[in-house]
């Protein structure tokens, strides 16, 4: 018996390894091919990408060759093509007053919108502006990547509904109600709460966005702002780049109690790839790194010492993985339903990436992972694009309904 058992123990691990290797290699190849086939049939719509500000900081669209592979960037046309991206919401990110001096947020937002439009116009063989779901589908059939614009940070409108209306006219199709800081009319997730959610004017902003057909984006906002927006909005809302809080306990993520409210609203939660939002281990580690740097700063450390410390911490940091991103997708599907989950990578807004999802060329690998987990093609299509397109269509429908009732508007 002892001899026989010994033999089995000797033989078994090798046999299992061989079997797994052979099966793993074949399966991976097939799933990726299947992912590419699916992505040929439906436009992949990514909810959030920060390349506009990255290009701005490199001197603008005239200084960066977006048609060539850019080593320092997660996004360029060759990578978008390899990743089979069909439509991208480009973030017109606007700094807040305490971040990078944001004294003229409306002007900054105008410049960002202009930058996206110029970038898109510069590469007409690959990129085309889109304002509606029909535009996205038409561009997709013409093998062009749709450029959609979302303003990141409601402070961009400087509390003017007139400015909001003009941003819509310039092609903006979503606005994230806050960025990192609480605004005059909405609380942010990462700042102190001043209003308990939306103020009365904040509710008016949401209603006007509904009337215009601009999607209300409740990534970045506090839980109370999420709840207020879900209560006030008569059109589907989006979370353009947020993941599940029950997996990584970050305030930027969406708690289960709110995920469960999304189906009644009809909106979509687009999963963020930021390692600190994806992996609880990374989040905890980043918190300790931040605490360490705060201690050093309090002790009078100079910027070189702070940078050295940050580098040393970064070297030892745990990693998030593509599989963990898939876990978030499946969790949101389980909480909100398959019709309410999407993708919002945050590429070029994040400073580190999950293993396996390093840049915009990697989307097919994520789809392959879901297929490996048993996802059906129809569900994959909803996740990658159909849910986002449905939300865009439903918001446009709601706007037409609201516009038929006239509203007094002073300016």
Residues labelled as active-site residues: 48, 50, 152, 179, 220, 241, 346
CA–CA distance, 84 with 96 (Å, rounded to integer): 33
Among candidate residues 382, 400, 402, the one with its CA nearest the CA of residue 391: 382
Partner residues linked to 128 by β-bridges = 146
Contact indicator for 239, 268 with CB cutoff of 8 Å: yes
Tell me how crowded residue 316 is: count the other CB atoms within 10 A of its CB.
Answer: 8
Q: Tokens at residue 187, please? A: 């609380």
39, 145 Cβ separation under 8 angstroms: no
Following DSSP, what letter does each residue of 174-233 receive, concatenated?
EEES-SSS--SSB-BTTS--SSSSB-HHHHHHHHHHHHHT-EEE-SSB-HHHHHHHHHH-
3-state secondary structure (DSSP) of residue 347:
strand
Whole-number Cα distances in Å, 223 to 36, 169, 188, 255, 355: 37, 30, 9, 8, 30
Nearest of 385, 97, 190 to residue 268 by alpha carbon: 385
> And the tokens for 93?
């990110």
Of residues 246, 407, 229, the one with CA closest to residue 336: 246
Q: Copy the structure tokens of residue 281.
A: 């281990």
DSSP one-letter code for 98: T
Whole-angstrom distance, CA of residue 143 vs CA of residue 190: 39
Q: How many CB atoms lie within 10 A of CB 331?
A: 19
């Amino acid at each position: 018996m002892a001899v026989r058992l010994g033999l089995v123990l000797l033989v078994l691990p090798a046999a299992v390894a061989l079997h797994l290797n052979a099966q793993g290699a074949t399966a991976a190849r097939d799933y990726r091919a299947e992912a590419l086939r699916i992505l040929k049939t439906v436009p992949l719509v990514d909810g959030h990408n920060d390349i506009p500000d990255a290009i701005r900081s490199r001197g603008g669209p005239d200084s960066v060759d977006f048609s060539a592979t850019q080593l320092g960037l997660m996004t360029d046309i060759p990578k978008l093509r390899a990743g089979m991206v069909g439509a991208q919401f480009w973030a017109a990110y606007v700094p807040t007053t305490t971040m990078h001096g944001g004294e003229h947020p409306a002007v900054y937002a105008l410049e960002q919108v202009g930058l996206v439009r110029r970038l898109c116009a510069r590469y007409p063989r690959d990129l085309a502006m889109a304002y509606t779901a029909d535009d996205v589908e038409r561009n997709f059939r013409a093998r062009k990547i749709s450029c959609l614009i979302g303003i990141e940070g409601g402070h961009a409108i400087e509390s003017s509904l007139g400015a909001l209306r003009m941003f819509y006219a310039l092609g903006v199709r979503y606005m994230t109600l806050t960025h990192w800081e609480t605004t005059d009319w909405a609380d942010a997730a990462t700042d102190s709460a001043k209003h308990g959610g939306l103020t009365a004017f904040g509710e008016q902003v949401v209603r006007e966005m509904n009337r215009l057909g601009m999607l209300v984006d409740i990534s970045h906002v506090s839980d109370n702002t999420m709840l207020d927006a879900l209560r006030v909005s008569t059109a589907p809302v989006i979370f353009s780049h947020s993941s599940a809080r029950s997996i990584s306990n970050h305030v930027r993520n969406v708690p289960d109690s709110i995920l469960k409210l999304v189906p009644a609203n009809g909106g979509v939660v687009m999963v963020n790839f930021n390692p600190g939002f994806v992996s609880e281990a990374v989040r905890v580690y980043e918190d300790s790194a931040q605490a360490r740097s705060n201690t050093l700063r309090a002790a009078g450390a100079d910027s070189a010492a702070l940078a050295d410390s940050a580098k040393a911490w970064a070297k030892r940091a745990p990693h998030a993985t593509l599989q963990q991103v898939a876990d978030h997708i499946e969790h949101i599907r389980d909480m909100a339903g398959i019709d309410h989950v999407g993708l919002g990578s945050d590429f070029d807004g994040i400073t580190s990436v999950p293993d396996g999802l390093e840049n915009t060329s990697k989307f097919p690998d994520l789809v392959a992972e879901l297929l490996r987990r048993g996802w059906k093609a129809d569900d994959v299509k909803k996740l990658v694009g159909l849910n986002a397109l449905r939300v865009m269509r439903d918001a446009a429908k709601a706007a037409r309904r609201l516009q038929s009732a006239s509203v007094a508007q002073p300016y």
